[in-house]
Structure 1
């Protein structure tokens, strides 16, 4: 088994299905006009996909632990391909909404199984570095999704974007069938009841589980606060147009990817827990700097934005690495719970931000997010005190 090839296939697979979240976002106005529907229902096509994908993480986790990785991955991709084709040929908003839910159900197996398989195959320092590489590949999707969707959509409309998604998914399906092995350890029998309730209890009652779930929720809430509200901040304070705003968003994503890649090497040097702790400290500092830099100048805002993306990139690969090391029998269940929680963080960001930003602009919005990260650092230090001898498991 070629571990590096497997890592690349899993990373690309997760990135491709994740494109469905952002690929056709630039085409939402065209979609509304073509299907003669409301903006609310068009936006609902994005929300339902994410909700279905998040909910299935909880359901599929115990199933993957019990039945195997590849056995769930391949049917999931097949469902995704069929649903994507259904989206492509939907002639009404009602049909599109139905197929988007099915598409989310199929897509849900890919990031769950990918992270679990990486945890199965890689150990110790290799696991930390591999998780970091996986997160970096996965992070490419939201960075380039709208760009690819805009290019394809300008020529072939929203049906063309779904066609691109279907063909891409078909290619990863072929790769998964012929190039990915089953990695579920044969000597491990998952503990817990038929529904996996005991496994859930074990994860939620574990100190590492609590720290990782809290960190995942808050870190992704903070990151998506920037993704959602950065255009508003730039347009309101500096009157930037769409192209310039896109450049700033791209800078945030690029430095986040760089941080994700470096995270693996950092974890092998100082340990995963210590990396999470210091990444949290640096995130707090970067957010405080952003509050002042955003009012000072556009260049200062850009530099602080890049710093924020970088330090948050250091943190995100740590969480799945810790879960993979701590939970062996319940590895997929743990990944499913973590994915569910981080998706909730993504969904919560615009809700909280829509309330805070009108009340206090940048200072209140980013200030509250900084306080949330303070809570992560405090809980991490209390539950997982850092020892000099601490190393990556």
Structure 2
């Protein structure tokens, strides 16, 4: 960071970046323990997979719903609400013996998780300008990229030694810590509700879906992530049931997949400098 940036801004940057890391952690730490959840609650694998797919679906819906209206909201309040929601739902996931309640709590946890990335990247853009903004976004992206690589390893290790409850208690401690730090250090920003946001919301998405290029990108992205999450969900079942691989090892076997995604992002970054992205 440039030396002329106040230290409090640098601290807030790392705090927001860690919050985004935590949002990704919420999603990815759960995958290696899918067999453990199935066996603990004595439910079919389809029900456990539903807790994964619904979590991802709700996060996607939160991006769509909040994406065009977030600028008119008090963003500190939004992130605090999201962390309170995550904390309450996470502790329910840790202690409930009922799978239906566990599933509902997991869905509520996804609502809180979906708010964080939008708020954090918006606040970073507001806090920094010019070259400092580019450096800040680079720091944010590094932590965001590391999360999918580290989360399954943590999930496998914690799940092996402390069970699924240990994972949710670990997430609860992080969410409460972030809640306290953000409440104290994050600058407040009162926003007035802008008129015409509802119209803008519909116009934006009508424009996307009426454009063949936008629809093509959505379809391709859907199939890419469909394949990715199919592997993500069924890999632990295959490894645990058929090859009897322990949970702590399953987490490490996700590493090649996530490292490949990171390398793919780096390759794209270099290629886009040489190749035109327009059609």
Q: Shift in Å at residue 131 of structure 1?
A: 2.1
Deviations 1:250-285 (A, max 9, x none): 35534655xxxxxxxxxxxxxxxxxxxxxxxxxxxx
Retained in 1: the 8 A contact 2:152–2:252?
A: no
3-state secondary structure, aligned to 2:278: helix
The answer as to 2:207 corresponding to 1:201 is no
Which runs of structure 2 are paired with 1:1-393 in the superposition (5 Å)?
2-183=8-189, 190-193=194-197, 196-202=198-204, 205=207, 218=220, 222=224, 225=227, 229=231, 249-251=254-256, 253-254=258-259, 257=262, 306=263, 308-312=264-268, 380-382=277-279
Retained in 2: the 8 A contact 1:84–1:163?
A: yes
Retained in 2: the 8 A contact 1:227–1:249?
A: no
TM-score of the superposed pair, with normalisation by structure 2:
0.77
CA distance in 2, matches of 1:315, 1:103: 37
Retained in 1: the 8 A contact 2:68–2:200?
A: no
3-state secondary structure, aligned to 1:182: coil
CA distance in 1, matches of 2:249, 2:84: 39
Q: Shift in Å at residue 63 of structure 1?
A: 4.9
- Which structure has more RCO (C-alpha within 8 Å, separation ≥ 6)? 2
CA distance in 1, matches of 2:103, 2:32: 18
Q: Shift in Å at residue 197 of structure 1?
A: 2.6
CA distance in 1, matches of 2:32, 2:133: 36
Q: Shift in Å at residue 103 of structure 1?
A: 0.6
3-state secondary structure, aligned to 2:36: helix
3-state secondary structure, aligned to 1:181: coil
Structure 1: runs of 5+ lacking an equivalent: 258-305, 317-376, 383-393
Q: Shift in Å at residue 137 of structure 1?
A: 0.5
Q: CA RMSD in A?
A: 3.8
Q: Shift in Å at residue 127 of structure 1?
A: 2.6
Moved more, 60-69 or 170-179: 60-69
Q: Shift in Å at residue 77 of structure 1?
A: 0.8
Paired residues, what number? Answer: 261
Structure 2: runs of 5+ lacking an equivalent: 1-5
Retained in 2: the 8 A contact 1:219–1:312?
A: no
Q: Shift in Å at residue 41 of structure 1?
A: 0.4
Q: 1:247 to 1:103 in 2, by over 3 A?
A: closer
Q: Shift in Å at residue 62 of structure 1?
A: 4.8
Moved more, 97-106 or 246-255: 246-255
Deviations 1:94-130 (A, max 9, x none): 1111101111111111111011111212233333332
Q: 1:255 to 1:217 in 2, by over 3 A?
A: same
3-state secondary structure, aligned to 1:381: coil
TM-score of the superposed pair, with normalisation by structure 1:
0.56
CA distance in 2, matches of 1:210, 1:183: 38
CA distance in 1, matches of 2:253, 2:45: 26
CA distance in 1, matches of 2:269, 2:229: 14
Q: 1:241 to 1:127 in 2, by over 3 A?
A: farther
CA distance in 1, matches of 2:164, 2:84: 21
